[in-house]
Structure 1
Amino acid sequence: MKRLLMVANVDWFFISHRLCIAQQASRAGWKVFVACEDTGRRNEIEVDGITFLDFKFSRSGINPVEEVKTLRQFYQLYKSIKPDIVHHITLKPVTYGSIVAKTLNIRGVLNAVSGLGYNFTGDRKGAVQRMMIRLMRYGFDRDKLTVIFQNDDDQKAFENLRILSPKNKIVRIKGSGVDLVKFPKSPFPSFDRVKVLLPIRMLWDKGVKELKEASDLLKNKYHNKLQIILSGLADEDNKAGVPSSYLKKWQDGNYVTWIGYQKDMVKVYQDSHIVVLPSYREGMPKTLIEACAIGRAIITTDAIGCRECVDEGVNGLKVPVYSVQELADAIEKLMLNHDLIAKMGDESRKKAELEFDVNSVIKKHLEIYSSLIN
């Protein structure tokens, strides 16, 4: 049986972004192994014959001694499983996994680049970034390595950094897709109070500070007509994590409410009118793809990854990265025009059906696996 190893950072991310691909690969005859950190949800991955491996590593560590240990972890994992194909998800598995796969002569490698991560965001430069670039150049320099990019900007960044090799095959897939049945076009809740949803891991790079300041600008005028809903965990293990103390201080339980992590995001989207993501940079944000499927108006930034989810003035509005006043103006414009929100919601659903259907994403991944094995 062909052996496929999928490596990601943490179980909840894998479940939301790649589990459906693993399930379909298993049904198609692959022996599928999934390696990532178990935060208590491994049972959701251990389905359809998938083998789960608790594989914990520092997502953003820079201590040289610890990073050598992490590289050794990858080596031991790959040597033990002996996969025919290894699918790396997120930047550290892409970086370290490619090196180990090359060292062990693993037959095929699929690297999914969904953004460039903390060390490449916000004009950050330094020794860590330079080291990662050198490591990726080495790992990518081989045959039978395919790279999936979610947007044109990330591909150009890899090309400019000379990470890609002429031997690599490049594939473009717009995000991880959305199940259009699980996330159906849904009616809006009452417009008595317009609800603006921020459905993210609470990271500064997602624009939390900007939304906080924009909400402050609107509060006096619209505190009874507008509600800001924060849905997501405070990822304080992440260097860009927003402290829970900041979120608790911001929320008042009325105008702003923080509902934390929610397993059933469909209901959360359905209880909103507008979905907002003032991010600095993304690969292709799952939250906006899901918002499109549910049929919601979107406000996001004209940032890499985000801009692909919004056709300006059609299914949403785009504002400059780091903007506060423009973000507040966009929220105000939509909340005062309920018909426009509804029209944009219809257009979002159409966009999801045309561009983000998960069945198309799954099919493309299985084709890549087959091309690497043959």
Structure 2
Amino acid sequence: MPKVLIVVNVDWFFISHRLCIAEKAVELGWQVLVAAEDTGRSNEIINKGITFINMSFSRSGTNFLQESKTLMLFYKLYKKVKPDIIHHVTLKPVIYGSVVSKLLKVKGTLNAISGLGYNFTSNRQGLVQKVMIRLMKYGFNQNNLSIIFQNQDDYQETLKLGIISKFNTINFIKGSGVNLYEFNYSKPFNNGKIEILLPTRMLWDKGVSELREATKILKDKYRGKVLFVLAGLADNDNKAGVPEDYLKDWEEKDYVKWIGYNKDMVNIYKQSDIVVLPSYREGIPKSLIEACAVGRPIVTTNAIGCKECVDEGKNGYKVPVKSILELAIAIEKLILSESDRLRMGNYSRNKAEKEFSQEMVINKHLNIYKELYEK
């Protein structure tokens, strides 16, 4: 029985982004193990016939001593488990895991690069980024290593930085996909107010402060007519995390509401009329492909990853990164036209069916596993 180890930062991220792939692998006879931090949801993974290994490490730490211990943690895990294939998800597992898989001569390694992360936004060029690049160059330079990119921009960036090796196999998969049956098309409810949804972790790099300023611009004209809903947890362990106090201070009865994390995102999308994500950089944001599937118009930025989810004027609008006035204007366009919202929502659903099917994403991943195992 072939054995695949999937390494990811935290259990909830694995559940939302990769569980469907692991379930199908189990069904096809693979032994699947997942190493991640247990935040209280590991039973949801174990109940699917997957072995769960509690592995806790700092997602954004840069302390040399602590990071050396983290690297050793990866080494001990891989040596003990002896997987045939290792699937690294999120940037730190990709970097450290590739180094260790090379040292231990693991049969096959798959690196999923879903955006280059905090240290690659805002043109950060510090020591941390230089060390990350050096480690990636070393770890990627091995036989039978496959890479998944979600967009061409991240691929071109890693190519320019000299990270990709001639031994690597390159794949393009648009995000983690969406279950088109679960996230089915639904006409917006008529709740009396137009609901504008921000469905993401509350991070500065997601454009939270820009949206707050945009709500101030729109407030005098639309308070009582629209409701901004912030659906996502405050990620205190992330360097770019927005403090809870900031979100609570932003809240305003009948105008802005922060509901935190909600497990039932299907209904949260269905209650909305417009979905907004003013992010600085993404891989392919799961929130936007889910918004497409449910049939919602989108306002986002022309940032890497986000721009792939919107065809300008057809299923939404793209504005420049960190632009506040343009963001407010784009949101207002959709507030003012119900017919545009419905037309764009239909286009979003069609786009999801053509480009973001979860079934297609699962099959592509399993084909990569098979190719790595059979080499």
User: Scaled by the length of structure 2, what TM-score is found?
Assistant: 0.99
Deviation at 1:187, TM superposition (A): 1.6
User: C-alpha distance in 2, partners of 1:118/1:57?
Assistant: 17
Deviation at 1:191, TM superposition (A): 6.0
User: Where does the alignment leave 5 or more consecutive residues of structure 2 unmatched?
Assistant: none
User: C-alpha distance in 1, partners of 2:47/2:169?
Assistant: 31
Name the amino acid aligned to 1:60.
S
Name the amino acid aligned to 2:69.
K
How many residues align? The count is: 374
- Paired residue for 1:248? 248
Deviation at 1:193, TM superposition (A): 1.2
Name the amino acid aligned to 1:193.
K
Q: Give the conservation status (yes or no) of the 8 Å contact 1:27–1:48.
A: no
User: C-alpha distance in 2, partners of 1:309/1:204?
Assistant: 21
Deviation at 1:75, TM superposition (A): 0.5
Q: Give the conservation status (yes or no) of the 8 Å contact 1:210–1:278.
A: yes
- Paired residue for 1:75? 75
- Paired residue for 1:211? 211
User: C-alpha distance in 1, partners of 2:31/2:287?
Assistant: 30
- Paired residue for 1:56? 56
User: C-alpha distance in 2, partners of 1:333/1:372?
Assistant: 48
Name the amino acid aligned to 2:252.
D
Q: Give the conservation status (yes or no) of the 8 Å contact 1:149–1:172.
A: yes
* Shift >2 Å, 4+ stretches: none
SS in 2 for 1:276: strand
- Percent of pairs with identical residues: 60
- The alpha-carbon distance between structure 1 residues 154 and 173, as it changes in their structure 2 partners (threshold 3 A), is same
* 1:10 to 2:39 alignment: no
Name the amino acid aligned to 2:78.
Y
SS in 2 for 1:345: helix
Name the amino acid aligned to 1:363.
N
- Paired residue for 2:226? 226
Name the amino acid aligned to 1:64.
F
CA displacement 1:104-126 (0-9 Å, x = unmatched)? 11000000000001111111110
- Paired residue for 1:147? 147
- Paired residue for 1:346? 346
User: C-alpha distance in 2, partners of 1:211/1:123?
Assistant: 22
Q: How does 1:1-374 map to 2 (within 5 A)?
A: 1-190=1-190, 192-374=192-374
CA displacement 1:302-328 (0-9 Å, x = unmatched)? 000000000000011000000000000
Name the amino acid aligned to 2:244.
S
Name the amino acid aligned to 1:65.
L
SS in 2 for 1:289: helix
Deviation at 1:236, TM superposition (A): 1.3
CA displacement 1:195-215 (0-9 Å, x = unmatched)? 110000000000000000000
State the Cα RMSD in Å. Answer: 0.7
CA displacement 1:227-273 (0-9 Å, x = unmatched)? 10000000011000000000000001320000000001001001100
Deviation at 1:49, TM superposition (A): 1.8
SS in 2 for 1:116: coil
Name the amino acid aligned to 1:323.
S
Q: Give the conservation status (yes or no) of the 8 Å contact 1:191–1:338.
A: no
Name the amino acid aligned to 2:25.
A
User: C-alpha distance in 2, partners of 1:31/1:346?
Assistant: 40
